[in-house]
Each structure stands twice: as C-alpha cells, then as structure tokens.
Structure 1
Amino acid sequence: MALRAPRSRAFHGDSVDDDYEWMRAKDDAAVIAHLEAENAYTEARTAHLEGLREAVFAEIKGRTLETDLSVPSRRGQWWYYGRTVEGSQYGIQCRAPISHPDDWEPPRLEPGVDVPGEQILLDGNIEADGHDFFSLGSFDVSDDGTRMLFAVDVAGDERYTIHVRDLATGATLGEEIPGTAAGASFSPDGASIVYTTVDDAWRPDTLWLHTVGTAPADDVRLFHEPDDRYWLGAGFTRSDRYLVIGLGSSITSEAWLVPADDLRAEPTVVWPRREGVEYSVDHAVIDGEDALYILHNDDALDFELVRVAAGDPAGRRETVLPHTPGVRLLDVDCFRDFSTVEYRRGGLARIGLLDHGSSEVRELSFEEPLYAAAFGGNREWAPPLLRLAYDSFVTPNTVCDYRLSDEALLVRKRQPVLGGYESSDYAQARVWAPAQDGTSIPVSLVWKRSFGEAGAAPRPVHLYGYGSYEHSIEPRFSVARLSELDRGVVFAVAHVRGGGEMGRQWYEDGKLARKKNSFTDFVDAARHLIEQGYTTPESLVAEGGSAGGLLMGAVANLAPELFAGILAQVPFVDALTTILDPTLPLTVIEWDEWGDPLHDPDVYAYMKSYSPYENVREGVSYPRILAVTSLNDTRVLYVEPAKWVARLREVGADALLKCEMVAGHGGVSGRYNAWRERAFELAWMLDVLGVAEV
C-alpha cells in the first residue's frame, strides 16, 4: 500500500484531507521511488503475459511494411515525401526534384529502389541518437527550397528547440531557439521564422519573429496574449498574403492579420473577441479583390460561412454557406480558384469543394457506411490535384488525388497490410443505444466475420470512448487492432455526448453542468451491448485516454458491475484538484470546458460529485484496472493516475499503474517502442477478456 500523508484542501466551506497529494512532488526521490516500485509491481503482476506481449508485438510488426515510402506531395520545384526503414524507430524526411514545371503526377516510389536526385532532409534516427525520447514539433522548408527548420523535444515535455539547416550545403546553422512551442514556420520569403513560446502553465502566449542568421536574443516580439484563457497560434495563408494570428479559448476566438511582406507592421484585428463567438479566417482572391472567408458561430450553433472584404472585415457579410442545423461546418481552406470545406452530417465526416462564384459545394461521396476522409498536404495555391486521405475500420489508410479537371478520384496508394489481410474478412456497422433520457447514442462496431455476426451470440467486446472538447472519434483503420479482431474480439466506439460526432449541440450536452451525460451515455452504451446479446459483463473491457481517461474513471465508479476491465491512458482522474489550481498547465483555459470550481461553489460541488479520485467507492467490486501514464506529461500530470490507483487499492481494487519515466502525453517515442507499448496494453486486455492464447 502507498504511504498515506494527509494534506488538507479547503474551498467553499468544504474541507478535504488528501492522503496522496504528496505524490505531486515530482523532484522528490520518494515519489520517483514510488513510481519505480509501481512499475516493478505491474511488471511482476503481468509477467505471465510476456509470451502474449511478444506475440502481439510480432503480429503488429509482421503486418507492417517496415521499409516503405509515402506518396510524394509537390511543393515548388520538389516532390516531398517520407520513408521508413526496417529496424529504424523514426521516419526520414526526403525530397526529389520534379522533372518538369507542369508535372503534377506524383512519381511512384518503391521500397529498395533509388529515387533519382533524392535529398535526405531530416533523418529522425540520427537526430534521436543518444536520447531516450525524441519528438518533432516543427518541420518546414522555405518556399524557395533553400532552408529547413526543425524543432525537437528530447524530454517529452513539449518544449522544443528550433534548428535551421542550409539545404544547399547540408549544414545546420549555429543558431538555436530553445523553449518554443510546436508549429514554427518560415515567412514566405524564407528570411524569417515565426514561432511561439509558452508561459509557466505551458500556454502558448507569445509570438516571435526571428531573422535567420541572427542571434535569438535579438528576436522581435510580435504579439502577446495576457489572458490566461487564450492560447496563441499563428500561420501564413496559402496565398502568402497574410500571417494569421489566432487566439482561442474553449468557447471564444479572435484573429489578427499581419501583411506577410511587412511582418513588423501592427497587427489588425479581424473581429474583436466576443464571449462565446468562435471563428476562423482564410484569405482568398475573388475577382481580383482580397477577401476573407470566415467560419463562425455567431447566432449559428453549427456554424456558417461568410465572406467579407479583407480591407473591411467588420463590414458587410456575404453569406456563403448558411447555418444548417445538424450540419456542423468544421473548416474552410482557400485556394486560388476554389475552397475546400469539411463538415459533419449524420455522424460522419464529409468533404467537398466550394465554388467561389456560385457558392455551391460539390461533395465527394464514399461507398462505405463508416469511414473517415480529410484533405491534407496541399501546399500549392493553384494545384490541378487535391490530396486527400481515406480509411475506415476495414479499409487501410488510402492516399488519393482528386483531379479537378474531370472530378476523378485517383487512388495513389493503400497502406500495405502484410500477412494476407483481406478487408472482406471483416465487417463494420453502427448501432444506436438508448440513453436514460431517451437520446440515441451512436455506437460503431467492427469484427471478424469468421467468428459470426456481431450480436448473434455474446462475444468479447472492447469498448472505447472519449467524449470531450467536441473531438470526434473517427472509424479509422488500425493494424494493432487486428490482433484483437483475429482472436474474436469485437471493437466498439461509443460516440458519447461531449464529443463532436453529432454536431455542436452534441458537444454542448456533454460539458460543464451536463458533463455527466458523457458518463451515463457510455454506461448506457455498454448496457445496450449486453442486453442485446453482443457481450456479457465478464467479456467487456473499456478504454479511454486523457479526457477519455476521466470517462473511464467515472464509469468505473458509476457501473463497475458492467465491466471486466478498464484501461485508462494518461487519465484525467483527479480533475477537481487540477482544475482548482490555476498555476497548473491547461487549468484556466479548461474552465470553459468543465467550469470554474475555484470561484463557483456550484461548479465545485458538481465536479466533486463525479471526479473519479473523489468518488472511489467502498464496498463494491471494481473491474481490473490498468492506468498508463508518463512522468513528463505536461497535459495530464502523472500524479493523477498515481493517486487514483493508490485510492483504488485502499478499497480492494485490482489496479495497476505503469509510468513511462521518459515520455510525454503521447506516450513513448519511436514506432517499435510504441508497438511494444500497445502490445503490453492489448495483452492485458486480452487476458481480462479470457482470450489470451499466444
């Protein structure tokens, strides 16, 4: 049992003695010793699964084409692509010259075949040498192709050091910019770099301009956001006309423009911030005039798209796509002759092309009942082809080009899955679970056909959930998941309220004072799967990470009898303690999502009624629990699952803690390390489900 050393907390007349708050002292040798002891205990308790872990790892590795290349994307006079090499943890970024200025047909690259003129830009394996952790937070090449920037984190704390490389000589320049956030980029002329830094709470709050070839100490501060609720980000429009500085809380946003050819000019605001109004901006040229496309929710719950004059953004708004309830507009991306739009309808992602003249949308159609599709990798202002990615639970990731001239969808590459994978061997479907208030909760399923149709007889089920921040869990393909499906497990996703699958109201109904809907929706989805004969409580495991880890902790307290096991990854399970402390990373901006318990006693009471750590129950039989965390996670601190597991053990729960000692919120770095980590988790879940055959 963990050491108990009570520390008092008092808010709004409520006094609490927290026995395990001492674990927050990350630099205390006793805390490190405790975490290392927990790791040793977990390893001992799962030692019998070593053979299964190795088998699952071998299956993931054996299904993956380890030496492979991505489909090249054109930018300027180069084709850019990535490659992986068998035995190497990290990817390699490359480019090759185009053969002709009018050539837009990407070259077909084959593993083991030399690419004429190939230039290796960044080998992650070389950069990671000597480090236990490596993450790339920024990567950009100047428009003229002569310079490259990259920013690396070797601790897992999401603070990156920017490096600049001369691509003509291959030399890395002496200047280094430490302590930056992710997302740095070159100015269109390649002479400068814009980047952000964070405050003590890890909030990106300041935008800087660095002139290549000068000392970072001489960098110019372009913008600073003092309000703790707002995060800052910046990027250049595809037209290279503007630098857009974006500021956002969970419910409010604001954008400022700076001419890209005069980055030291005073920024001008697009629309002054108004509480509860969110918007995003992109630049287009319509009939020779600069215009801004603005996606906003001002009196438009699911957002609408308007067009304004760039010189007078507060002036007349021309409605381009009106607000349509149930059609959640997500993004608009401007090109010279058209824009792409992304939206959700009927619980699925939709993509289309917006005609600048008629404002009509040409939606791309896909045949599968469940799928995920998105545009991406289109850097050019006037391309004849648009790159997009498509996949589903049963269709591996597919790279396509949409040819504008004849509306043809050209499949460039489908992710190879070795070992004889056939998508027809698997099936996917969506069912609807009734919630306690009558709402229908979508539940997506995938299974292997040879074990029979899902629901025909009780089967082991792995139920995943998230349900926060309007984030949608898409029906995506996973090589690692095949190790479950091929053992007869049905994988399911409960698209609970608080996510974005069914539009903005779906999100609103699962946050703040309605947050408990997320938890009861998940419980009702699990109960529906049991009542309809898909599974039994003895054959049901649940999984969620981060805010989805809060979901896991809450449902463990609400309905422990429904689950045989729960996997909680970097779980936000000590939510009330965290959200009470404005000095912690993310806290203040999170008040828009969860409420402000520091100043509002009603919010305090509501959060205390569901925060998992606060509500561990005596006298109940908890499912087996595995909590996975990382020592250097700056988003959900390791102390939350550490305290939670200690409290669970007090009431007799079989709870394990696995803490990566060199990692961040996303877990370990390197693909082989990540596969081993997932194999560990899958082996534990398969053991809980009773299908742990090697």
Structure 2
Amino acid sequence: MKLPVAKKIPHVHEKHGHQRIDHYNWMRERDAPEVLSYLEQENDYYDAMTAHTDDLKESLFQEIKGRLKEDDESVPYLFNGYWYYTKMEVGESYPYYYRRNDATQKEELLFNVNEMAQGHDFYKFTGMNISPDNKLAAFGIDTKGRREYTLMVKNLETGELLDVAVPLTTGGYTWAADNNTLFFTRKDPETLRANRIFKYKLTNPDNDGELVFEEEDEIYNCFVYKTLSQEFIMIKSSSTLSDEVRFIKSNQPDADFQLFQEREKELEYSVAHYKDHFFIMTNKDGATNFKIMQTPLHLTEKENWEDLIAHDNDVLLEDFNLFEKFLVVSDRFNGLNRIRIKAWDGTSDYFLPFDNETYTAYTGANLQFDTTKLRYVYNSLTTPASVIEFDMETREKKVLKTQPVEDADFDPSNYTSQRVWATAPDGTKVPISLVYKTSMKKETGNPLLLYGYGSYGATIDPYFSIARLSLLNRGFIYAIAHIRGGEYLGRTWYEDGKMFKKRNTFTDFIACSEHLIKEGYTSNEQLYASGGSAGGLLMGAVINMAPQLYNGILSAVPFVDVVSTMLDDTIPLTTGEYDEWGNPNHKDSYEYMLSYSPYDQIKEQDYPNILVTTGYHDSQVQYWEPAKWVARLRESKTNDKLLLFKTDMKSGHSGASGRYDALKEVALEYAFLLDLEGITD
C-alpha cells in the first residue's frame, strides 16, 4: 500500500534568536478535514500493513481473555458499616459496584456501569464517594477520554439520580459531615490545570457550586480530600518541588480554610490526622528521602514539627498508614518495597518478611483505625497478585485472594525472575528486572522486550501480568529498566534523571540495552523496547541516539515534541511541568531540552521497526505530537523497516475504557512484536 505522505507547510518557531522549521505544525488544527484525513490515511496504512496478522491478533486476544476469570469479584473492604466490592460478569466490559450491610449482610447493587455505558464509545466511571449517612453516592463520568469528569450524585435509597451535573471536574469528591456539602476540584477549561476548589450544596442545586479556593500559581495543581479519621477536609496545592495544605473540620463546611504551612520552594509535605496530632511526611531539613514528623493540632507551622521516623539516606519513605495501635510505614531499600510495622507503645517494631529477588508489595485498602488487621498486596514477575490480611499483633497472615489465572498449564515455578545491573556511562549501576519461561530461555539470543519510563519520580515496580504470559510462553524475555528519573533507588535517583540531568534517563536505558546484549540475554536483531507517554519520549530519544540496538519499538501516546509543547502554556499540563523538564523560555533550558527532544533530533539514518499508538482525545499528550513525529520520521528514515501509526479516534491518554477493548490493544502490540520475530501463532 502507498505510504501516507503528510503535506509540508513551513512554520517557523523562533526563540532566543534560534529558529526551528516545523513543516507539520498544521496538524494541531483539531477536527480540521486535512488533519482527520491524514490520521485516517495512517490508520488505513496500519490496517493494510498488518492485515496478515489479523488472525494472530484475534488469537492473542482470545488467549489472554481465556486466562481471565471473567466472572470475578474484588476483595470487599469495610467502610462505615458496609462492605464494598465490585463484580465482573462474563462477556461484559465494565464492573458492577456492590455493597452489603455489615450487620444484616443485605447486598445492594449501587452501579451497573455496563448499563450506564450503553451508547458511548468511551465511558469512564470514577471517584465513587459515599456520604457519611450512607445514603448518597457522588461519582464522576467521562465519555470522551480527556479526563474531564462530570460530577453526579445518586440517591442510594431510591436509586434516583439527583439533579446534579457539574462539568469539568477532576473526578475526586469529598463529603462534609452534614451529608449535604460536596467539595471538588474543577479544571481550567483551556489548560485543564486543576486550579479551583468548589463547595456544592445539594440544598442549592441551581448552580455549579461556590468557589472556596483558587490556585493562581500556574505551576501548581490543587485537590481536596478528607483525612482517614473523617475529621478534617484538606486542600492541597502541589508543584513538583513544593506543597501547601489548608484545612477545616469536616463538620464545619462553611468555615474558612486555615493554612497549615505556607509554601516554600523545595519544601514538600503531606498531612494525615490521628487523635490529637497531625502527621507529616516531608523533606524538611534536607530529608531528601523524606521523614515522618508530628505536631499538635493547634501548632501546624513547621517550627513545631517533631521527628517521628527519622530521615535515612539509604531508605526512601513512600507512604504510611495510621492505626489505633500501630504505625505502618511503606519504604524502599535498594529498590525493593518494605512494610514496617511499629507499635505506638514501643513494644514492637519489625518488617514484613519478603524473600524474592525482585517483587512488589504495598498496603491496600486500610480504612479502619480500630483494627489490628493490615491489608497489603504482594506480587512479583512470576507470582500473581495476592491480597493478604496480616494481624499485626499475632503476626499471622491470611491470603484473602490470589489473582486467578484460568490456564491449567500455568505454574509459577515454570518461570524465572531475576535482577541484574548494567553500568551507565558515568559509572552508575542501573538495575534491570527480568522474567522468562525457564524452559524457553536460550543461552544466547532471545527475543526480549525492554520496558522503560523514567520520569516524574514514578517507579515501575516488577509486577505480574496475565497478558505478558503470551510473550513469555513464546520465548520472549520481559525486562524493566529501572532508570534514573524514577525513584527505584531513592529520591536522588529521580533528581539525577530530570531537568539538566534528563539525558541520564536515556543513556541509562541504552546502557541496559547494551548490557542485555553483551550478556547474551538477547541480540540487536531480537531486542525490542517499549514505553508510553514520558516513556514514549524515552523511546524517541534512544532511537535517535542508538537506533542500531533495536529491531522494534512500541511507543504509546508519546511525548516527543518537547520544546514546542513546553513553550505553549495553553496546552494542558505544560506550566506544571517546568520543574520536571525545565522552562524553555529560559535559554539554558531551551538548549538542553532541544538537545534531546525526539522530534527535533530526528536525522537521516536507519531506524528500527516502529509502532506508534495514540488517542485522538488525549489530554495529556495531544494527538498531534505523535502524528508530527511519525510524519517527520517517514521523511527522514533511510531504510524500509516498518513505521506504523494507529490513532484510536474514540479514546484518550489511558486507551480504551472497557476491559476487552484494552486487551485488544495489548494483542495489537504483541502481534507487532511476534510478527517481527516470525512467530505466527
């Protein structure tokens, strides 16, 4: 089929006396006929070039779907006298939300999302929040995929929807103690920055709420939440490097919010409540990896904060849970999750035992203060996720549920996971988590898919995937590169992979790729790489820098036109990202970002096989970034390897909304990889 060719209309970007010529800037015209025509041409080309894999896609979809327990049920959690849980039914894409009364055990169907989603190509139900009297449920609905949620309220006694439909919210809702007042965050209609907190009274339904707080600094977002104690409503403003919290008593919804601690540059903190103290996780006093402090309720300024869990240069604090008798701290040591249990009375202080070489463990839904039972989740690359209930007094544990794998041939012992270390150009050791089917691994030359992200301090932990078995069972090794820009090895691991150290993220990934080739796990001809969003930027950067290392690339919703996007403060999320990438309005940041921007650094060279996917309604990374990138790659690449671009015209940043459509997206990517390997079934 004829290659799609995008027309070229020169557009000059000029900044700091430097000019960039962008021939594809016209693609920013959303809904313009020529833009839609180009996207359709690319979709048609993808369909034609992959038609021979249609049977493989369907086979993979059915195979992955076959491993799912389609009539599944979540582990119930107890909140305010009711057990809440979801169910999935055979053949249906969306969950049913249920609860049952703890005393009577009577079951109630709260929401059938399948029924609600009828007539919509995309449907996202989120933010269900139950009023203190258990009679009302606030929730949000997005029917486009742009994460713009409409607030709605349902009467759970009558089953009727109230006359409430407040648009452009973030999907998070908080009830005051009066069962009448809802607090929520709205977005700027142009930039989609979460910048305003509203108070909505059900007894005054003829408006969209009263503004109670506006975040005017463009690098901050804000949100509202209730403490687990249910006693305080908190407003938090956050940027990458600074936080500020305000609060009121939840039984005084009309009170003025009180400042907890005013924002300071590079002072980060979060607040929880327990009895007569606030508890703060913060980087105060140079606590790079954070520490936990406490202060009396009436003394919230930082001068009054006292250390509870001290800072440790080798241990990253990530979260904590408060119980009547215990403090539970989630931290990370040498890249691995730990859960520490500390009795308030000092009688015990210990860590839960985990003995895998690479795994993921985190606390789950713990909404009760007066209990000795801790919920946590454990899984690894070889072990399906288990929800575990642990008695912190007796130290007995009970597995409440293990993720079912509907495959008689599946046995975790048939798979091997391990962690290896690559050496970056600056001598830094970079960890890689690996998994493979033991019987399929060859001594040299295995097809290997290497995943990476490496931004925002987001840590990609090793986790089990039912879908991934379809690759492992066909001889693939799957690997995660724990590169700088995440927090796998602590806060400095993040700091060393952002702003003027961002290139470390890319050279780390390349070093991991070279290590896996050198050690015989794979070869240049069988190495594949994958990343989405900021991980798509990673993909774009590494194929500009070292395209010879890879046979194929999967790049989903890629952030690739870094400089142009970060110069446009009308684009959603841009201004809040300055502390992550830099502000290109400053010359030094502009030049550094330009040095790695995937779109700007495309050159005439051989590129690997590439599959790019995006969503037309994406609010995080606009569709035109990957569209422009693909057009320019087509113009510059010097070989005949595949370059395919598929736009889902119905979805946004997170892809399809239904579970079956999401599985089809996975099957589409796997079919691309298997086809390159010559694996047809």
1:611 aligns with 2:597: yes
Tell me the residue number matched to 1:512.
Answer: 499
Tell me the residue number matched to 1:621.
Answer: 606
1:293 aligns with 2:285: no
TM-score by length of 1: 0.95
Deviations 1:364-412 (A, max 9, x none): 1222221111112222232332222111111111111112331212101
Deviations 1:663-687 (A, max 9, x none): 1110111000000011001110122
Q: 1:14 aligns with which of 18, 25, 31?
A: 18
Q: 2:322 aligns with which of 334, 339, 346?
A: 334
Tell me the residue number matched to 1:489.
Answer: 476
Separation in 2, partners of 1:60, 1:216: 48
Q: 1:492 to 1:355 in 2, by over 3 A?
A: same
Query: How do residues 120-519 of structure 1 correspond to structure 2 at under 5 angstroms?
Result: 120-199=109-188, 200-215=190-205, 217=207, 219-285=209-275, 289-314=276-301, 315-358=303-346, 361-420=349-408, 421-452=410-441, 456-519=443-506
What is the CA-CA distance between 1:601 and the residue it aligns to?
Answer: 0.8
TM-score by length of 2: 0.96
Q: 1:582 aligns with which of 569, 588, 591?
A: 569
Tell me the residue number matched to 2:519.
Answer: 532
Q: Which moved more, 1:12-21 or 1:338-347?
A: 338-347
Separation in 2, partners of 1:532, 1:294: 41
Q: 1:191 to 1:352 in 2, by over 3 A?
A: farther
CA contact (8 A) 2:96 2:109 kept: yes
CA contact (8 A) 1:73 1:377 kept: yes
The one-letter code matched in structure 2 to 1:355 is A
Q: Which moved more, 1:248-257 or 1:560-569?
A: 248-257
Q: Which moved more, 1:505-514 or 1:364-373?
A: 364-373
Q: 1:174 aligns to what SS in structure 2?
A: coil
Separation in 1, partners of 2:368, 2:294: 22
The one-letter code matched in structure 1 to 2:559 is F
1:601 aligns with 2:591: no
Separation in 1, partners of 2:224, 2:79: 21
The one-letter code matched in structure 2 to 1:617 is K
What is the CA-CA distance between 1:440 and the residue it aligns to?
Answer: 0.5
CA contact (8 A) 1:459 1:535 kept: yes
What is the CA-CA distance between 1:361 and the residue it aligns to?
Answer: 4.3
Tell me the residue number matched to 2:95.
Answer: 91
Q: 2:615 aligns with which of 630, 646, 655?
A: 630
Q: 2:261 aligns to what SS in structure 1?
A: coil
The one-letter code matched in structure 2 to 1:547 is A
What is the CA-CA distance between 1:56 and the residue it aligns to?
Answer: 0.7
Separation in 1, partners of 2:552, 2:132: 51
Q: 2:35 aligns with which of 17, 31, 51?
A: 31
Q: 1:609 aligns to what SS in structure 2?
A: helix
What is the CA-CA distance between 1:428 and the residue it aligns to?
Answer: 0.2
Tell me the residue number matched to 1:551.
Answer: 538
Separation in 2, partners of 1:56, 1:305: 47
Separation in 1, partners of 2:114, 2:477: 36
Separation in 2, partners of 1:291, 1:37: 57
CA contact (8 A) 1:430 1:445 kept: yes
Tell me the residue number matched to 1:686.
Answer: 674
Separation in 1, partners of 2:508, 2:280: 37
Q: 1:22 to 1:298 in 2, by over 3 A?
A: farther
Separation in 2, partners of 1:423, 1:173: 49
What is the CA-CA distance between 1:273 and the residue it aligns to?
Answer: 0.8
Q: 1:693 to 1:133 in 2, by over 3 A?
A: same
Q: Which moved more, 1:484-493 or 1:65-74?
A: 65-74
Q: 2:596 aligns to what SS in structure 1?
A: coil
The one-letter code matched in structure 1 to 2:32 is D
Q: 2:374 aligns to what SS in structure 1?
A: strand
Q: 1:506 aligns to what SS in structure 2?
A: helix
Deviations 1:504-545 (A, max 9, x none): 110011100010000001001000110111111000000000
Q: 1:360 to 1:253 in 2, by over 3 A?
A: farther
Tell me the residue number matched to 2:625.
Answer: 640
Separation in 2, partners of 1:612, 1:524: 19
What is the CA-CA distance between 1:228 and the residue it aligns to?
Answer: 0.5
What is the CA-CA distance between 1:357 and the residue it aligns to?
Answer: 4.0
Q: 1:196 to 1:282 in 2, by over 3 A?
A: same
Separation in 2, partners of 1:216, 1:334: 40
CA contact (8 A) 1:205 1:232 kept: yes
The one-letter code matched in structure 1 to 2:238 is G
CA contact (8 A) 2:150 2:171 kept: no
What is the CA-CA distance between 1:185 and the residue it aligns to?
Answer: 2.5
Q: 1:614 aligns to what SS in structure 2?
A: coil
Separation in 1, partners of 2:208, 2:167: 14
The one-letter code matched in structure 1 to 2:140 is A
Separation in 2, partners of 1:216, 1:534: 64
Separation in 2, partners of 1:646, 1:85: 42
What is the CA-CA distance between 1:90 and the residue it aligns to?
Answer: 0.4
Tell me the residue number matched to 1:106.
Answer: none
What is the CA-CA distance between 1:650 and the residue it aligns to?
Answer: 0.5
The one-letter code matched in structure 2 to 1:256 is R
Q: 1:392 to 1:158 in 2, by over 3 A?
A: same
Separation in 2, partners of 1:297, 1:450: 50
Separation in 2, partners of 1:664, 1:376: 28
The one-letter code matched in structure 1 to 2:648 is E
CA contact (8 A) 2:269 2:280 kept: no
What is the CA-CA distance between 1:463 and the residue it aligns to?
Answer: 0.3
The one-letter code matched in structure 1 to 2:660 is Y
Q: Which runs of 5+ in 1 are unaligned?
A: 101-115
Q: Which runs of 5+ in 2 are unaligned?
A: none
CA contact (8 A) 1:391 1:476 kept: yes
CA contact (8 A) 1:284 1:293 kept: no
1:651 aligns with 2:636: yes
Number of matched pairs: 671
Q: 1:667 aligns to what SS in structure 2?
A: coil
CA contact (8 A) 2:279 2:292 kept: no
Separation in 2, partners of 1:280, 1:176: 31
The one-letter code matched in structure 2 to 1:676 is K
Deviations 1:150-193 (A, max 9, x none): 11000111111111111111111122222211211222342221
Tell me the residue number matched to 1:118.
Answer: 107
Separation in 1, partners of 2:78, 2:226: 18
Q: Please report the RMSD computed on the Cα atoms of aligned residues, expressed in angstroms.
A: 1.5
CA contact (8 A) 1:571 1:641 kept: yes
CA contact (8 A) 1:244 1:255 kept: yes
Q: 1:127 to 1:70 in 2, by over 3 A?
A: same
Separation in 2, partners of 1:68, 1:610: 45
Percent pairwise identity: 39
Q: 1:533 aligns to what SS in structure 2?
A: coil
